[in-house]
């Protein structure tokens, strides 16, 4: 067991409240500051971060990796068995533009892999969550990563379409027919989990807090999210919190299609 059913319900209720509150912040004048790494931060990032850290303090697992917390040295983190990874606002730039493709991400991990996670989309109120070996859910309804209408769709990032990705899309299109749809934040991975798309290559910089929560939601829904380096699942709480390039796909695709998708990702991407 990860956390009790009551604690999970408490977390989902909190996420629902945060969805409402950050939308209110978004629709007012947003205060933006620039962090030392030249990325933006708003009062919504801090508000959600504080609320999630306060919730974590009420659980039996106290270790936290957060984009907005002071980072803890690996000499200490390496001892952790259980830990939380949170991204208070994934897609801060989208939030600042008053867009809809931003999320709140929180995952509980055990031995380098997520075992419980929640991703919410405040603009719609949607809440995705997953529990290891128990499935993935969207607004309490079970979801599956499936090919729903017979047409394969690839997700491309709204703001991170680079040369490596363009080459991959071009090469893969020679063997698989697909349409491309654009969406931001960890919604890209969640869209695969609910069958809205079947392929998502990410050949650019991401951090562990960008992916941990959605990673479990996809895998529990019947999809895969693999490092392009070794075609194995991503590991969390590494010394360097940066992810390798990765490839996501629905397991509902044919064996031949999955082989094409993974081999090309492993072969063409240097990271």
Q: pLDDT digits over 108-124, tens only? A: 999 999 999 999 999 99
Q: How confident is the model at residue 160 (pLDDT cuts 50, 70, 90)?
A: low
Global pTM reads 0.96
Mean pLDDT, residues 153-160: 78
Q: Average pLDDT for residues 243-258, to the nearest whole number?
A: 96
Mean residue pLDDT of the chain comes to 94
Q: Examine the pLDDT at 175 and tell me if it is beyond 90.
A: yes
Mean pLDDT of 154-168: 82
In the chain, % of residues over pLDDT 70: 97
Closest alpha carbon to 219 in 241, 190, 245, 183: 190
* Contact predicate 189/214, CB 8 Å: yes
Residue 105 near residue 206 (C-beta atoms within 8 A): no
Mean pLDDT across 206-218: 97
Segment (H or E) for 65: strand 64-66
Q: With bands split at pLDDT 50, 70 and 90, how would you rate the model's confidence at 2? A: confident
Average pLDDT over residues 185-196: 96
225 compared with 268, residue with greater pLDDT? 225
Mind listing the pLDDT tens digit for each residue in 22-73? 999 999 999 999 998 889 999 999 999 999 999 999 999 999 999 999 999 9
Q: Which residues pair with 105 in a beta bridge?
A: 87, 119
């Amino acid at each position: 067991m990860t956390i009790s059913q009551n604690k999970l319900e408490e977390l989902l209720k909190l996420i629902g409240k945060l969805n409402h509150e950050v939308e209110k912040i978004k629709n007012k004048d947003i205060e933006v500051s620039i962090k030392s790494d030249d990325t933006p931060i708003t009062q919504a990032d801090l508000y959600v971060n504080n609320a999630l850290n306060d919730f974590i303090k009420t659980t039996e697992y106290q270790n936290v990796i957060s984009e907005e917390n002071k980072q803890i040295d690996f000499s200490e983190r390496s001892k952790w068995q259980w830990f939380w990874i949170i991204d208070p606002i994934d897609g801060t730039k989208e939030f600042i533009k008053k867009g809809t493709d931003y999320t709140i991400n929180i995952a509980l991990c055990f031995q380098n892999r997520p075992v419980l996670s929640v991703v919410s989309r405040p603009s719609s109120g949607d809440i995705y969550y997953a529990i290891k070996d128990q499935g993935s859910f969207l607004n309490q309804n079970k979801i599956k990563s499936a090919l729903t209408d017979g047409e394969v769709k690839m997700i491309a990032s709204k703001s991170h379409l680079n040369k490596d990705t363009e080459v991959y899309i071009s090469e893969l299109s020679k063997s698989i027919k697909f349409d491309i749809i654009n969406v931001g934040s960890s919604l890209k991975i969640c869209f695969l989990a609910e069958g809205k798309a079947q392929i998502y290559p990410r050949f650019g910089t991401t951090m562990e807090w960008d992916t941990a929560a959605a990673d479990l939601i996809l895998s529990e829904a019947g999809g895969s999210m693999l490092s392009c380096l070794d075609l194995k699942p991503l590991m969390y709480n590494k010394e360097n919190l940066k992810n390798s390039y990765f490839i996501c796909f629905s397991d509902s695709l044919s064996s031949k299609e999955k082989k094409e998708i993974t081999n090309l990702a492993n072969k063409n991407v240097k990271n």
